[in-house]
Amino acid sequence: MIRLALAYLADRPLTSALNVLLLAISVAMLVLLLQFSSQAEERFERDIAGIDLVVGAKGSPLQLILSSVFHVDSPTGNIPVESIDLLRRDPAVARVVPLALGDNFDGFRIVGTDAGFAGLYDLKLAEGRSFAAPMEAVLGADVARQTGAKLGQKFIGSHGLGDDPQGDQGHDHAPFTTVGILAPSGTVADRLILTSVESVWAVHGIGHDHDHDHDHDHKTGHDHAHGHDHDHHKHHAHDDHDHDHDHAAPSLASPAAPAPLQASGSGLEPEFTALLVTYRNASAAIRLPAMINRQTALQSAVPATETARLIELIGASLAGIKVFAWLLAATGGLAIFVALLAALRAREGDLALLRVMGASRAQVFGTMLLEGVITAAAGAVLGWLAAHGLMALAAARFATLADLGFSPFQFHSGEIALVAGVLGIGALAALIPAIRIYQLDPARVMARSL
């Protein structure tokens, strides 16, 4: 009966092909939407990792999260280095990881940080060692793969965060040396270049003295960075203070040895772009954000909240496309229904003949139903292949997608449900014609021809 159903489909190739195409387009759209949203959510979750709170300059909380956690937007500004003390002193805080952004190499962000960053993502070295001395850098797995950088090679960072055409001014005077390459982690770290905070400062002529008090007077408010985000000429307004820095960025290799940092005589003050905070206990979640936001220069943003908001924003746009795709699938079902109904009259004689020749009611019913299901299955398979093929093409064509961890061959359990749904549409579309065939009285039809 499958052969007969296939033969009937092949007998009207244009109609069958159009019906398959309609369903294939809808399935491809739905698979792409599913993959996009699920992979984006997975990626968000991986990148948030152990970050409970991000502290940065006042501005858009979403921008702060995008720039400091996902590394895809400009930072909201810079914050004074003293901010880290506020958090590290808090017993409810387990870990504070500083970030100093501002430069890129070949489009990959150079992130000044400390050993805590590796702890956030459980990063492992594939080659070499962690940064220790100034101007030493560890490359993320994708950075190393795409730039072809090897251990010991030097590179020069450029102003800007890699997505700014104006930021192409190189720091020729301060080259970095690659001392390590990270193993792939499937997180944002794969496409980052990690170095010490001091190295980032040094590139920009911001010196710091160990065991040296500094007393700076910040005169202007924070700045929403453009191009060169680490703008050290403008500072956040905060009270004058005079204290020892005991929170400098230790290297990946020596997390337990924080080195105090101080501004040297360059006139520029060292600053962080953001601080990534991990709580020790849940009580911090209630108290800390409010406490941070009371600081005139600081704002806190909860990655989980902002990501949920982002997903909600994206989801609202995707929902419209999803409705359209399901409408397309329904149209495909309707087209199958119309095609089968149109074929019904011509088919009656054939199927009545089959009944006379010995086919059961269930068999002729099944033949009709199979036509709908086979059409839907062909559409589903074609659409599914097209979606993954397009994803593979896109990943090959746009390196950014691969950089973001977008995998064309990752399968989602929802795809099975989706295919089942489309098969259901095919079966439903064929149901009424199949029922009419089931109710057919073969004797009456055949008697007309005897």
Residues within the interface to other proteins (CB under 8 A) = 3-4, 7-8, 10-11, 346, 349-350, 353-354, 356-359, 442-443, 446-447, 449-450
Minimum gap (Å) between residue 7 Cβ and other proteins: 4
Minimum gap (Å) between residue 5 Cβ and other proteins: 9
Nearer to other proteins, 11 or 217 (CB): 11
Residue type present at position 366: G
Minimum gap (Å) between residue 15 Cβ and other proteins: 13
Nearer to other proteins, 393 or 443 (CB): 443
Q: Is 283 helix (H, G, I), strand (E, B) or coil?
A: helix
Minimum gap (Å) between residue 443 Cβ and other proteins: 4
CA dihedral 382, 383, 388, 389 (to 10 degrees): 60
Nearer to other proteins, 169 or 360 (CB): 360
DSSP H helical segments within 398-412, as ranges?
Answer: 399-403
Containing 40, the helix (H) or strand (E) segment is helix 13-48
Nearer to other proteins, 280 or 361 (CB): 361
Minimum gap (Å) between residue 350 Cβ and other proteins: 5
Write phi, then psi, for 224 (nearest 5 degrees). Answer: -75, 110
Minimum gap (Å) between residue 444 Cβ and other proteins: 8
Tokens for 344, please give them: 């019904």
Nearer to other proteins, 308 or 446 (CB): 446
Nearer to other proteins, 5 or 197 (CB): 5
Nearer to other proteins, 160 or 442 (CB): 442
Nearer to other proteins, 14 or 282 (CB): 14
Per DSSP, the residues of 158-178 read: EES-SS-TT---B-TTS-EEE
Packed helices 13-48 and 303-356: angle between N→C axes, nearest 10 degrees:
160
Q: Contact, 124 vs 208, CB < 8 A?
A: no
Nearer to other proteins, 379 or 442 (CB): 442
| DSSP assignment letter at 281 | S
Minimum gap (Å) between residue 347 Cβ and other proteins: 9
Which residues are 111's β-sheet partners?
Answer: 194
Packed helices 361-397 and 303-356: angle between N→C axes, nearest 10 degrees:
140
Minimum gap (Å) between residue 440 Cβ and other proteins: 13
Q: Contact, 48 vs 69, CB < 8 A?
A: yes
| DSSP assignment letter at 82 | T
| Residue tagged 């199979």 (tokens) | 370
Residue type present at position 126: A
Minimum gap (Å) between residue 354 Cβ and other proteins: 7
Nearer to other proteins, 3 or 294 (CB): 3
> Whose CA is closest to 45, among 62, 74, 69?
69
| DSSP assignment letter at 183 | P
β-strands 214-216, 176-182: how paired? unpaired
β-strands 136-139, 176-182: how paired? parallel
Packed helices 13-48 and 2-11: angle between N→C axes, nearest 10 degrees:
110
